[in-house]
Chains A and B, each alone.
Chain A
Amino acid sequence: MADLRSNFLGIKSPNPFWLASAPPTDRETNVVRAFKAGWGGVVWKTLGEDPHVVNVNGPRYGAIHGVDRQLIGFNNIELISDRPLDVNLREIKKVKREWPDRAMVVSLMVPVSEESWKTIIPLVEETGADGIELNFGCPHGMSERGMGSAIGQDPEYIENIARWCKQATRMPVIVKLTPNITDIRNPARAAQTGGADAVSLINTVNSIMGIDLDSMAPNPSTDGKGSHGGYCGPAVKPIALNMVAEIARDPETASLPVSAIGGISTWRDAAEFITLGAGNVQVCTAAMVYGFKIIEEMVDGLETWMDEKGYSTLEDFRGAAVGNIVDWKYLNMNYVVKARIDQDKCIKCGRCHIVCEDTSHQAISTEKDGERYFDIKDEECVGCNLCASICPVEGCIEMVQMTEGDDPRTGKPISMDYANWTTHPNNPSAAAE
């Protein structure tokens, strides 16, 4: 059986699934329930200075839904912990003592002052917690007060605060990054330069979830008004995957440990982040949608898959996909594919035809022997993957590589040699490459 034990910055947990700093890790009751359910660790909901913040008394969450109200995206305007600091510290200490095998990381957010950070850190250290996560990510509310993502958007602040924190503790320091920036590599580099042991990402994305067309109020609405919240859930996973990959691909930060966050809902999502170099993963929205029991599927799914693949530890496949993320210019221009429709699986909905006809390359026919029948016109098909993407039947349309003959669309012979844009005759700077 695969070994799911995780060692992230020396912080050990029975599995790589931590609950992210968020409402599920707000208090002892929740965290103990999570540990009983099988979660490997938690990042305790962000602590701040007393007097503690207060939340709105109206809705904190908004959602967008897909088919059958399946939650696709989620957002919140909840602030950091709205309980007194000493209450949180007392509970953290108690839970860590009772659950020594689980990871207990504490998220922190205090003003940009060395004294503030150096005051709160010893208090956390005293609890026996395993590490701290600096919340430079929350994009709502706290950012208006110069904290959260306001820090995460400024590499100089990131570096300085990381340095103060490292000076103040022997605990591992994780810097949590905001995705509300143009290039994630800059804050990641700054964290590394400041001495942070790791980064965690992504925090939530600036978002307005919708407008009520009767009241003209945004969702969620506080007495008819709303402010932007932080977007998360399955919809943000692709953004998070890219940012995690960016850090893994950047020579400067390639060895910087990453705790991956962003729409992780299943074991498969987690495995994907680990293949991009993540040392562990943090989950929030999925737990808030289904409850803590989903950890059972995540652990079992990851174990089963690892057994099937012959991976005995997480390290066996960690980073395995990083090398396959490249700049566009290095993609093989000689790789030619054509769509292939499995007629046994085809239910004849015709969507592939109409989307190709209306929005792409007019490469799918509709009829054979007077019957409804959808097939690919190789002479038109550019292999774009639109048809396969929108086909309602999984595995019905696949993109199949041409390995010999001529491409009926271009008339050019298929070459199995690798050739990319850098040497392509149409590239004006080809000679320079």
Chain B
Amino acid sequence: MTSSSTATEISTHRLEAHEYQQNFADLHPPLNAHQASVEASRCYFCYDAPCMTACPTSIDIPLFIRQIMTGNTTGAARTIFAENIMGGMCARVCPTETLCEEACVRNSCEEKPVTIGFLQRFATDAYMETAQHPFKRAPETGKTVAVVGGGPAGMSCAHRLAALGHSVTVFEAREKSGGLNEFGIASYKSTENFAAREIDFILSIGGIEVKNGQALGDGLELDALRQNYDAVFLALGQGGSNNLGLDGEDVDGVINAIDYIADLRQTPDLGALPVGRRIVVIGGGMTAIDIAVQTKLLGADDVVIAYRRGQQQMNASRYEQELAQTRGVKIVHWAKPVELNSASGNVQAVRFERTSLDEGGKLVGTGETFELAADMVFKAIGQVLLTEPIANSAGPELTRGRIMVNDERKTSLNNVWAGGDCIDGGEDLTVVAVEDGKIAATSIDLYLKSNAA
């Protein structure tokens, strides 16, 4: 468990079993066939469709929606998977309100976009239930690729390479693949073990071997991989969490949000998770929202997200912010933590200083402070790439603490590519990671076929 606390205000089983079930049910129940047909008919089949341009993976959205409209759900799913093999998960977790649906021209006339995400889920769910795979592998090329990391970027890259006929080995540090899809995102966005089912779906193309429990730097070295495989794709994610930089951060009750969410996603019994009555979440991104909402759903009384800047600057979309607020989470802006107060080894409260922007646009403290009582304090202020695993090898060049890549996701090393959250410019989005994997796979394929390997 994340934290064994002695504080009396932290406890398990705050709710009845059925309440957990209800609270962590699917956030958006899937569309039925009638709903999908009605919604699909709203699509205008735009020329050079803005939604398609807005999609990081360039899914042909007007085409797949028209396929749904004509009853060709199978074709719709193939259209989606052709560009995004994780179309199922992206339909669930993409911030569509800032991507495809924001670009929908229906916004201009009626402020209500076609619900592209729901339609995508309709098609992909239906297809995945058939237990088929939409693609056939090209004949074996005899080339081998090592993919390090079994998250969205790694699996996307592995799938495309396998489809092109290469043999792929995925090395995944954890016992389960899927990365943040499996361990990171909020539980109510990926119900019924969807992340794991999606991995099985991807692997069903064949040609991909997954080795779990194999972490880079722990008996698995980049140098050796580069020697033993024709190419390497690094999809390491960001294994480290940022710290607040305050005294007493190691007391009980101060927790990395990402770790707690991982426990939450894997536990067979949500009631067994200890949760406080008063929760303070520090951060302004999707993880902050996810931990805040989920602790509330686990039975916490007061959950406050404190963010050092304003609403506009929050990385979490407006939709996500509203989701949190409608679940009873309070969001406090312009407040940065300055002190952790604890007693008997347990956190008791966080003192915040109010902030503002000075004339130069720099964030400054105003000197005014206030305190929020807290049984648990969650840190959700970003992740960092852990560089130790590649320290023993001739590693790729880094920039701003992450791996530097070119447009083809190639690193400074001649047979090493990288993608996902570990690269500079990564956007912490599943859909962007999938695209990274796709782009890298195309580049790797060209490299392998050019015989340079």
Chain A residues within 8 Å of B, Cβ to Cβ:
67-69, 346-351, 353-354, 366, 372, 392-393
Contacts and interface: CB of A to CB of B under 8 A. Distances in A.
Contacts, number: 38
A382 B46 CA distance: 23
A349 B38 contact: no
A162 to B, nearest CB: 47
Interface of B: 37-38, 41-42, 44-50, 105-106, 108-109
Given A68-B38, A349-B47, A393-B109, 15 more contacts: A68-B37, A68-B41, A69-B37, A347-B105, A347-B106, A347-B108, A347-B109, A349-B44, A350-B46, A350-B48, A350-B49, A353-B47, A354-B47, A366-B47, A392-B44
B45 A366 contact: no
Nearest to A355: B47
Given A67-B41, A68-B38, A68-B41, A350 B108 contact: no
B38 A350 contact: no
Nearest to B106: A347
Contacts of B38: 68
B255 to A, nearest CB: 46
Contacts of A354: 47-48
Contact of A348 (B42, B45, B108): B108
Main secondary structure of the interface of B (DSSP, over half): loop
A393 B105 CA distance: 11
A354 B44 CA distance: 12
Nearest to B40: A67
Nearest to A372: B50
B41 A349 contact: no
A68 B48 CA distance: 25
A313 to B, nearest CB: 40
A429 to B, nearest CB: 43
The 6 A-B pairs at the shortest CB distance, nearest first, are namely A350-B47, A354-B47, A347-B108, A67-B41, A347-B105, A349-B46
A70 to B, nearest CB: 10
A130 B50 CA distance: 62
B42 to A, nearest CB: 8
A347 B109 CA distance: 7
A29 to B, nearest CB: 32
Nearest to A351: B47
A218 to B, nearest CB: 18
B43 to A, nearest CB: 10
15 contacts: A67-B41, A68-B37, A69-B37, A347-B44, A348-B46, A348-B50, A350-B47, A350-B49, A351-B46, A354-B47, A366-B47, A372-B48, A372-B50, A392-B44, A392-B109
Contacts of B105: 347-349
A351 B50 contact: no
A347 B44 CA distance: 10
Contacts of B50: 348, 372
Nearest to A348: B105
Contacts of A349: 44, 46-47, 105
A392 B109 CA distance: 10
A353 B47 CA distance: 8
Contacts of A372: 48, 50
Contacts of A348: 46, 50, 105, 108
A97 B50 CA distance: 65
A163 to B, nearest CB: 52
Nearest to A391: B44
A210 to B, nearest CB: 13
B45 A351 contact: yes
Contacts of B108: 346-348
Nearest to B53: A372
Contacts of B44: 347, 349, 351, 392
Contacts of B42: 67
B50 to A, nearest CB: 7
A226 B264 CA distance: 59
Contacts of B41: 67-68
A71 to B, nearest CB: 14
Interface centre among A68, A349, A354, A366 (most CB of B within 10 A): A349
A366 B48 contact: yes
Contacts of A346: 108
A345 to B, nearest CB: 8
